[in-house]
């Protein structure tokens, strides 16, 4: 993993903590939440305050998320909002933390200037022992305060001020005035600089979770469903259906089409489909060369074309299907009939523009895992798992490519692949299509016989 870290492809954008004052605040918060402290004199933290160095020191990568359901967080600075979320167990967690910081940035800036802010993403369950329990998580509540309780004290002081104003003889109440002065020494003048961190709630609609091998739960769509990495028979009873695993390609394809969640990249507005198809084909060639232990070195696109020529009939079906589609795009071939049973099928799709765009692209990355660029962008956890099993040859090639083609313009690359950022309004979702006949196979341009 050192190669990824050096290239900025792992643990990138973490916030460095070196100030003794910030380290002392972090330890106070860490002791408050977990009863533990760190002896490190410098470390890095993500948006939730989790530090990979402290995780290694404590031999516990879940020290801020012990039950796997209610993530705790430590904020030392509002700069954490730009950091990633490591070891995420729910796809919604980072977005919730980012919105919480954005909507309370002025208050958090003032509070973190004097103390660490600690809190928790509270769901309605305290652990996830069975897959069906995931459906009990419908709302995430964010609760936070400084370790010194500045928000709590400010609320108490506000109540005392209101009482002082309403009681005719309040100015004669020495105990009341003494308590107000004591609290004001901690909170400051809240009449001029109010302190408030309101409890915020976020709906947990459609999401991915790492529990039980990885589950995609879609509740807020026309036809709800669950898609899982493991065989669906291992999940037990579930409150909604269908429940599909990755081996059920036809069912997944029909379900995606029924809910209008995806579109063919060859029809996507503003996309250079030919360039995207060529890049996907390059990554498939890399995988084929890896299987034959061919030396990639610093292979260019021209070198990969030569390797593809050498492989000939040994090229995977994914490559052949995309090559046929590329020929059609460049008006050099007939329209290929790529059904949902074809290995290339999910490589030909991207999410439509709707609030769950990133979640659907994350799912497609798992269904088309040889496209390591999309896997890295949309599902880093799966990317790192795959990376651990690659040879040194493939690791070097992929790292060089991502550093050269993605790191230099992340926003541009994402826009080119997935389109502009969609709106967050659920009403942006298109109306459902009529039911799809599962007896037919589904192609990237719709259902075909």
Residues with Cβ within 8 Å of residue 418, at least 6 apart in sequence:
350, 351, 357, 358, 361
Confidence (pLDDT) at 167: 73
Long-range contacts of 178-186 (CB under 8 A, 24+ apart): 183/153, 183/154, 183/156, 183/157, 184/157, 186/148, 186/150, 186/153
The DSSP result for 20-38, as a single string, is: HHHHHHHHHHHHHHHS---
Mean pLDDT, contiguous 10-residue spans, the chain (449 residues): 85 92 95 94 96 95 89 95 93 94 89 88 82 90 82 66 69 68 66 68 92 94 94 90 94 95 90 90 85 70 79 85 92 88 95 94 96 94 92 87 82 84 50 45 50
How do the domains of the chain map onto residue ranges?
Answer: 2-139, 208-448
Confidence (pLDDT) at 435: 44
H/E stretch holding 74 = strand 72-75
Per DSSP, the three-state class of 50 is: coil
Confidence (pLDDT) at 208: 96
**Residue closest to 325 by CA, chosen among 282, 272, 278, 371:** 278
**Lookup: tokens for 298:** 């610093």
**Lookup: tokens for 369:** 């895992």
Confidence (pLDDT) at 428: 46
Per DSSP, the three-state class of 43 is: strand
Cβ count near 333 (within 10 Å): 13
pTM: 0.84
Confidence (pLDDT) at 434: 45
Residues with Cβ within 8 Å of residue 12, at least 6 apart in sequence:
84
């Amino acid at each position: 993993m050192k190669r990824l870290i050096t290239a900025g492809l792992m643990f990138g954008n973490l916030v460095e903590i070196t100030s003794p004052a910030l380290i002392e605040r972090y330890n106070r918060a860490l002791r408050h939440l977990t009863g533990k402290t760190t002896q490190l004199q410098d470390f890095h933290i993500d948006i939730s305050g989790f530090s990979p160095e402290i995780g290694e020191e404590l031999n516990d990568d879940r020290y801020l998320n012990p039950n796997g359901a209610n993530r705790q967080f430590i904020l030392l600075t509002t700069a954490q909002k730009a950091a990633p979320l490591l070891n995420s167990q729910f796809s919604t967690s980072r977005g919730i933390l980012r919105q919480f910081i954005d909507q309370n940035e002025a208050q958090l800036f003032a509070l973190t200037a004097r103390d660490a802010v600690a809190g928790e993403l509270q769901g309605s369950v305290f652990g996830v022992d069975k897959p069906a329990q995931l459906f009990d998580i419908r709302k995430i509540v964010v609760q936070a305060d400084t370790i010194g309780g500045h928000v709590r004290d400010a609320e108490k002081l506000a109540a005392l001020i209101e009482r002082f104003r309403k009681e005719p003889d309040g100015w004669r109440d020495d105990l009341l005035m003494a308590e107000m002065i004591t609290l004001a020494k901690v909170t400051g003048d809240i009449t001029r600089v109010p302190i408030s961190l309101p409890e915020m709630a976020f709906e947990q609609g459609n999401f991915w979770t790492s529990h039980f091998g990885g589950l995609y739960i879609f509740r807020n769509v026309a036809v709800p469903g669950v898609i899982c990495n493991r065989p669906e028979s291992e999940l037990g009873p579930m409150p909604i259906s269908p429940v599909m695993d990755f081996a059920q390609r036809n069912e997944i394809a029909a379900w995606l089409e029924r809910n209008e969640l995806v579109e063919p990249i060859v029809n996507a507005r503003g996309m250079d489909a030919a360039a995207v198809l060529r890049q996907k084909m390059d990554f498939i060639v890399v995988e084929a060369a890896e299987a034959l232990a061919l030396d990639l070195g610093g292979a260019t696109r021209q070198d990969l074309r030569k390797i593809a020529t050498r492989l000939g009939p040994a090229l995977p079906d994914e490559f052949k299907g995309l090559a046929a589609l590329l020929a059609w795009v460049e008006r050099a071939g007939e329209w290929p009939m790529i059904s949902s049973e074809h290995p290339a099928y999910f490589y030909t799709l991207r999410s439509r523009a709707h609030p769950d765009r990133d979640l659907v692209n994350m799912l497609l990355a798992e269904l088309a895992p040889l496209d390591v660029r999309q896997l890295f962008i949309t599902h880093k956890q799966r990317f790192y798992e795959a990376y651990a099993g690659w040879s040194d040859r493939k690791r070097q090639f992929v790292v060089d490519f991502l550093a050269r083609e993605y790191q230099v313009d992340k926003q541009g690359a994402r826009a080119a692949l997935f389109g502009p950022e969609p709106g967050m309004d659920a009403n942006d979702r298109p109306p459902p299509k009529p039911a799809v006949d599962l007896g037919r196979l589904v192609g990237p341009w719709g259902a075909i016989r």
